Amino acid sequence: MPSAAPPAKLLVIACGALAHEIVRLQKLNGWGQIDLQCVDAELHNKPKLIPQKLRSVIDENRSEYEHIFIGYGDCGTGGEIDRIIEQEAANGQTNIERLPGAHCYSFYAGEEQFNQLAEQELGTFYLTDFLVEHFDRLMVKGLKLDKHPHLRHQYFANYRLVVYLSQRFDSGLVNKAKAAAEYLGLGFSHVHSGYGDLENGLQKQVLKFI
């Protein structure tokens, strides 16, 4: 009988909000070692559901890959993603890691720059390319601001500033980000972060298989 096929190299399980960016980085860098599975970006507003979904995807793919990389920061899960990784390690699965940082804003900007931005204005609401492109669906309709405009003040009363952390140079997205800030009644600042630790983190994973 023929021997079983060896495990594939690297699975990245990522938030759907990172899908476009990861695919773009794959093409730019020629990372053929990566298989990508994305979790619904709608969970951005329901972080408590993220760990359960990640657990399910890991269970389905554990035996098929040499290494699994989780394309999430902590992302509002209260340390649950790290606990999943710790549980896997306790069971002998030491080949699972995640992106550094608390959320996509910190790993895009880098921890040091993000902390500086946060210190400059604690009441900051952050946007990325994905959130700008899908602001209406995820924020306006997702938070039901279209049906209940009064909620806008309740949700954003403690915010003063929108900081758009852009991954691409795109004047159209900058204009959309400005419009989003205006809709929320907040000030606006644009910082081009590039892909930050998302690119760096994926690069480190890929290098393990060269």
**Could you tell me the CATH number of the domain that includes residue 33?**
3.40.50
Contacting residues for 17 by C-beta, under 8 A, at least 6 apart:
41, 44, 104, 128, 130, 131
Q: For the whole model, what pTM was predicted?
A: 0.86
Average pLDDT of the residues in 92-106: 90
The predicted structure's pLDDT at residue 27: 93
Please check whether residue 3 lies inside any domain of the structure: no
**Which residue range(s) make up the domain with 38?**
8-102+196-207
What does pLDDT average to over the chain?
Answer: 92
1 within domain boundaries: no
> Based on the domain organization, do 182 and 202 belong to the same domain?
no
How many structural domains is the chain composed of?
2
How many Å apart are CA 99 and CA 153, to the nearest integer? Answer: 33
Average pLDDT over residues 101-109: 92
* Statement to judge: residues 14 and 87 lie in one domain: yes
Question: What pLDDT sits at residue 94?
Answer: 83
Q: Are residues 116 and 76 in the same domain?
A: no
List the beta bridge partners of residue 195: none
Do 98 and 55 fall into the same domain?
yes
Q: Are residues 201 and 179 in the same domain?
A: no
pLDDT digits (tens, 9 = 90+) for 11-28: 999 999 999 999 999 999
Would residue 125 be called left, alpha or beta, if left means φ above 0 and alpha means ψ between -120 and 50 degrees? beta
Mean pLDDT value of segment 84-99: 91
Q: Is 53 domain-assigned? A: yes
| 61-78 core/surface letters (b: 16 or more CB in 10 A; e: else) | bbeebebbbbbbbbbbbe
